[in-house]
Structure 1
């Protein structure tokens, strides 16, 4: 994975108030620390808050959800321990709506469809396999996609999840013969130059758990030629 991780000088903050901060994750960033020992995005956001507000001591930051390391897009963090369980509840009750964009080389058979599979995770290779019926230790996975733009060599899909399973979008799209650009693990034939995969958390919407106001956020796309061609998709 390319070592182009976020730091406080290039962190892209899309929304911030006293309770919540939303950032645009870059490919290569890990949301929370893992066995690699690489600096996680959560630590970068803590540094940003500490420096911006001259906070003494430790800064609180709650991780609400995650994105796979090679993906990009919207990540929400809680700035207070009070709001974290409220955001967690919104996620569990599916009141936080996330929309993803994915670039695939092979167009799905249908321009719009709902995919229902049972996913089973293999911890040895950190990969989920999709099955057409339930098997032991599998979890039901549901997503909705539609083709929103046709490029010269790729197809842009818009995806909404009903469930949040391990590698769900990657596994389910691969299962229908449309692996995501750059995703070697799920069947694409070559990697992207920056080791990313072309999956982006594009939009998020929810009712603010404290202010009770609607929040709608769009994450700018990664700056490369193919993604740039997707900006005006209508």
Structure 2
């Protein structure tokens, strides 16, 4: 369970990375849920609404569309739509794979290959909210493809840069674990101990796309969490 912490996002500490009339992109903190769930905890989407309402003195309800999500213990780039005009266009960008997303992950074990493409078929178990990766196609399995490369060796950990071809449930977490490289702090997928803040060391580092309204090229990078191991990565 994610620990409650004063570091969770609220309208006063929200880290906005990019904003215009149609889009707002923020740096999600570990422990934030992007959208409301059965826990009843206040989601990041509501925090962003409060920020917009206060900043622009908007009366009544604030419109905000959830474009994509990150797992609760992860950090990094999350984009929301500020207008009903931009939401379907942003959804189409993601559906058509016209966004470039880069993730950073810290693992303790060095992968056998310095760079590789991983292909698995994933089955999600909703009872324990966990996915299992299979090396060959199986009934009801969803094909998952990612590319990784080792970009830095630290004293104890290895920094991997990961890009996705597919967006499956816990994809990076389960696929890296399947090659013996669970992400630091990720008890669910086999790491031996938790991080102090109950996060996992998976960070949505960068997002690039063509703005669906202005047609400008947008390139957003999320600063890393404040942590000695992450500090050693830059």
Residue of structure 1 aligned with 2:59, choices 53, 56, 59:
56
Give the secondary-structure state (helix, strand or coil) at the position aligned to 1:24: strand
Give the secondary-structure state (helix, strand or coil) at the position aligned to 2:51: helix
The answer to whether 1:81 aligns with 2:84 is yes
> Could you tell me which residue of structure 1 aligns to residue 3 of structure 2?
2
> Could you tell me which residue of structure 1 aligns to residue 144 of structure 2?
141
What CA distance in whole angstroms lies between the structure 1 residues aligned with 2:45 and 2:165? 26
What CA distance in whole angstroms lies between the structure 1 residues aligned with 2:210 and 2:25? 14
Q: TM-score, normalised by structure 2?
A: 0.98
What CA distance in whole angstroms lies between the structure 2 residues aligned with 1:136 and 1:41? 35
Residue of structure 2 aligned with 1:199, choices 171, 193, 202:
202
What CA distance in whole angstroms lies between the structure 2 residues aligned with 1:82 and 1:213? 17
Residue pairs, 1:140-219, within 5 angstroms: 140-219=143-222
CA RMSD in angstroms, aligned pairs only: 0.4
Alignment: residue pair count = 231
Give the secondary-structure state (helix, strand or coil) at the position aligned to 1:170: helix
Give the secondary-structure state (helix, strand or coil) at the position aligned to 1:34: coil
Deviation at 1:3, TM superposition (A): 1.1
The answer to whether 1:222 aligns with 2:196 is no
> Could you tell me which residue of structure 1 aligns to residue 118 of structure 2?
115
What CA distance in whole angstroms lies between the structure 1 residues aligned with 2:208 and 2:9? 24
Give the secondary-structure state (helix, strand or coil) at the position aligned to 2:177: helix
Deviation at 1:134, TM superposition (A): 1.2
Residue pairs, 1:33-72, within 5 angstroms: 33-72=36-75
> Could you tell me which residue of structure 1 aligns to residue 30 of structure 2?
27
> Could you tell me which residue of structure 1 aligns to residue 99 of structure 2?
96
What CA distance in whole angstroms lies between the structure 2 residues aligned with 1:97 and 1:61? 22
Q: TM-score, normalised by structure 1?
A: 0.98
Deviation at 1:137, TM superposition (A): 1.4
Structure 1 segments unaligned to the other structure (5+ residues): none
Show structure 1 runs of 4+ deviating over 3 A: none
What CA distance in whole angstroms lies between the structure 2 residues aligned with 1:221 and 1:6? 15
